[in-house]
Amino acid sequence: MTLSSASRLITRTFRVSPPSSSTRSLSFFLTPRFQVRSMASDSNFKKIQIQRDDTTFDAYVVGKENAPGIVVVQEWWGVDYEIKNHALTISQLEPGFKALIPDLYRGKVGLDVAEAQHLMDNLDWQGAVKDIRASVNWLKANGSQKVGVTGYCMGGALAIASSVLIPEVDAVVAFYGVPSSELADPTNAKAPVQAHFGELDNFVGFSDVTAAKALEEKLKASGIPYEVHIYPGNAHAFMNRSAEGVARRKSMGMPDEDNAAVELAWSRFRSWMIRFLAS
């Protein structure tokens, strides 16, 4: 099965379970229109173009020259303010990293949940993996001796897939997203994987606790170094802490705000990347 066809299987898992006191159906998420800012010009980032095969895509770089590199893979929204916030945070973690965001949607940004779902449904997943690989190799060709991949939501699934499919990747940290085995079977992971999930995440089969525990068993079978962390009282996308991100999560029925969990996750992220990228 190709990665492109497997994407349909991943997309089907990215649905919520039937409504209950703790879960909501997808129709709940598609009802309102959540306005979010598209990616604004930011002097912190350098816009570059990366070529692979017969296509060229934009990417956004921030951080220390010649530092270990980290490819930061977007949520289903696209390259918006929140993924930029994450990349900027990563670049400022001691001892310093060079973060690169590849634009998998080629400039498109979801302005509401329905648009984000549409963009993800129509993503060329095979192309996305190729974009990530080209981004890893760009960093290695531009001063980063070792390069990791991290991602959030959709990007979390792609980050784990990178540990299986991209041999140049040196470490992975994934947030609340697991690929289907048809896209990438984590039992075949080759790069060390750290993964983070919220206990209250209700995206069944994609990022809920059951999916997290199944991932842990597959990573154990792979033989690579791994960690799987579950954060009590936290729902999906708990790392999104900007004012806009908090408001968007509340509009989607996720009111949890746990700064201590976010700080702990960043601390674990930093330790993992230093362990495998700085040596």
Give the burial class of 259: count Cβ atoms within 10 A of its Cβ; 0-12 exposed, 13-18 middle, 19 or more buried: exposed
Q: What is the per-residue pLDDT for 181?
A: 84
If the chain, 279 residues long, is cut into consecutive pieces of 10 residues, what is the mean pLDDT of each piece?
A: 39 40 33 35 88 96 96 97 96 97 97 94 94 98 98 98 98 96 94 98 97 98 98 97 92 93 98 95
pLDDT at 8: 42
Give the predicted TM-score (pTM) of the model.
Answer: 0.87
* pLDDT value at residue 170: 98
**pLDDT attached to residue 128:** 97
The pLDDT, as a whole number, for residue 7 is 41
Could you identify the residue written with the tokens 């960690």?
227
- Per the CB < 8 A criterion, the answer to whether 152 and 73 are in contact is yes
Q: How buried is 63 (Cβ within 10 angstroms: 0-12 exposed, 13-18 middle, 19+ buried)?
A: buried
- Predicted confidence at residue 279, as pLDDT, reads 73
Query: Residue 42: its pLDDT value, please?
Result: 75
What share of residues in the chain are helix, strand, coil (percent, to 5)?
40, 20, 40
- Looking at residue 180, its pLDDT comes to 83
Q: What is the pLDDT, as a whole number, of residue 233? A: 97
Question: What is the pLDDT at residue 182?
Answer: 84
Q: What is the pLDDT of residue 1?
A: 33
